[in-house]
Amino acid sequence: MNSRQIQRAIGASGIQASAVGLGTWAIGGWMWGGTDEQASIRAIEASIDAGVSLIDTAPAYGLGRSEEIVGKAIKGKRDKVVIATKCGLNWHSGKGNHFFDQDGKPVHRYLGADGIAYELDQSLRRLGTDHIDLYITHWQDPTTPIAETVAALEKLKAAGKIRAIGASNVNPEELNQYVAAGQLDAIQERYSMIDREIEGTLLPITQRNDVATLSYSSLALGLLTGSIEPGRAFSGDDQRKDNPRFSASNRQKVATLKQAIQPISDQHKASMAQIVIAWTLAQPGITFALCGARNPEQALDNARAGEVRLSSEERTSIDKAIAMHLNQMDA
């Protein structure tokens, strides 16, 4: 294990993992214009070699594809990784609340005990393991009481099939219900320099209750890496294709921010992505930063962010630059 990677605790679970986590949504292909399996496997291997232990996936990422690729990449290395996967978006039962269609299959939000047990067995098979370290409810199911879901998850924990419980895409009320119902060790929420809503809503609750927070889309789907050139076009089902977030004006704003923080990047011999990730990990209440990567170069770039330590002066000057250059972004 690379000793320079920041290690942090997943709530009160007793599990430690690298603060920089590898996200594998794009590796599943869906909503990202497809996937390259060999490049994906090399990206996962490069992350692990660089000391990244936290790997986040979900059944919904390509209807099992992401979990299968992660399973192949971690074969023989299970002891080096902390696996987070999810439940509650299923395409097998039709139960719960219809959410979207993927590959012509209706996907439902369902967090009843029977659905979770079925999904967990499928995930264990695809990942080639006998336990999940952090098992997260992916989206909340309006048809099942949270206390019932937590009771089902606690049973699976007692059986040794999962080690910690997390919830994703919660509002403050749902988060409080999870905390009241059992031991919630983590939430996973959208957070980055340009998505900071949870600072005033969820983070005060997690910090009071020893719940870790995993930020997702920490690089704003790649926009904040500063490497989305003005001429880059997105194709296929890539969600960025018609996304106002990737407007010419937003790309220009990010380019201006990149220039403004260049002295800090130079000081640390770091890329913009590394400074953005290090800034994210320095935010109060953010425990882990999940960053997607589709090839070994991106994986290594992001992994090395776990070795960057920003001073408080540097953080203040980045905050000022964000306020000046990333205001009024196209949403």
**Residues belonging to the active site:** 61
Name the pairing type of β-strands 16-18 and 7-9.
Answer: antiparallel
CA proximity to 33, closest of 222, 289, 216? 222
Whole-number Å distance between alpha carbons of 277 and 285: 14
- Locus of tokens 């994906």: 40
CA 195 to chain centre: 14
Q: Are 226 and 272 in contact (CB under 8 A)?
A: yes
- What residue type is 159 in one-letter code? A
What is the nearest approach in angstroms of ligand NAP to the Cβ of residue 312?
25
User: Which residue in 7, 122, 169, 317 binds ligand NAP (CB under 6 A)?
Assistant: 169
Q: Pattern 184-213, binding to ligand NAP, x per CB under 6 A?
A: ----x-------------------------
Regarding 294 and contact with ligand NAP (CB under 6 A), the answer is yes
Regarding 216 and contact with ligand NAP (CB under 6 A), the answer is yes
Q: Which of residues 56-85 bind ligand NAP (CB under 6 A)?
A: 56
Whole-number Å distance between alpha carbons of 300 and 314: 23
Regarding 298 and contact with ligand NAP (CB under 6 A), the answer is yes
Regarding 291 and contact with ligand NAP (CB under 6 A), the answer is yes
Whole-number Å distance between alpha carbons of 291 and 273: 10
Give, in degrees to the nearest 5, the angle at Cα 26 between 153 and 188: 35
What is the nearest approach in angstroms of ligand NAP to the Cβ of residue 193?
11
User: Which residue in 89, 162, 205, 221 binds ligand NAP (CB under 6 A)?
Assistant: 221
Residue 71 DSSP label? H
276 vs 312, which CB is nearer to ligand NAP? 276
Contact partners, residue 51, CB within 8 Å, separation at least 6: 1, 2, 3, 4, 5, 18, 303, 306
Regarding 168 and contact with ligand NAP (CB under 6 A), the answer is yes
Whole-number Å distance between alpha carbons of 275 and 281: 10
Size of the site for ligand NAP (CB under 6 A): 27
Regarding 222 and contact with ligand NAP (CB under 6 A), the answer is yes
Q: Which span sits near ligand NAP by CB under 6 A: 44-52, 110-118, 254-262, 296-304?
A: 296-304
Q: Which of residues 226-265 bind ligand NAP (CB under 6 A)?
A: 227
Q: Which of residues 9-38 bind ligand NAP (CB under 6 A)?
A: 23-26
User: Which residue in 132, 184, 211, 290 binds ligand NAP (CB under 6 A)?
Assistant: 290
Helix (H, G, I), strand (E, B) or coil at 21: strand
Q: Which of residues 130-149 bind ligand NAP (CB under 6 A)?
A: 138
2 vs 169, which CB is nearer to ligand NAP? 169
Q: Give backbone dihedrals phi and psi of 198, rounded to 5 degrees, phi first.
A: -70, -15
Regarding 301 and contact with ligand NAP (CB under 6 A), the answer is yes
Q: Which span sits near ligand NAP by CB under 6 A: 142-150, 159-167, 175-183, 216-224?
A: 216-224
Structure tokens at 45: 């291997």
Give residue number: closest CB to ligand NAP: 23
Q: Are 150 and 186 in contact (CB under 8 A)?
A: no
Site residues, ligand NAP (CB under 6 A): 23-26, 56, 138, 168-169, 188, 216-222, 225, 227, 273, 290-294, 298, 301-302
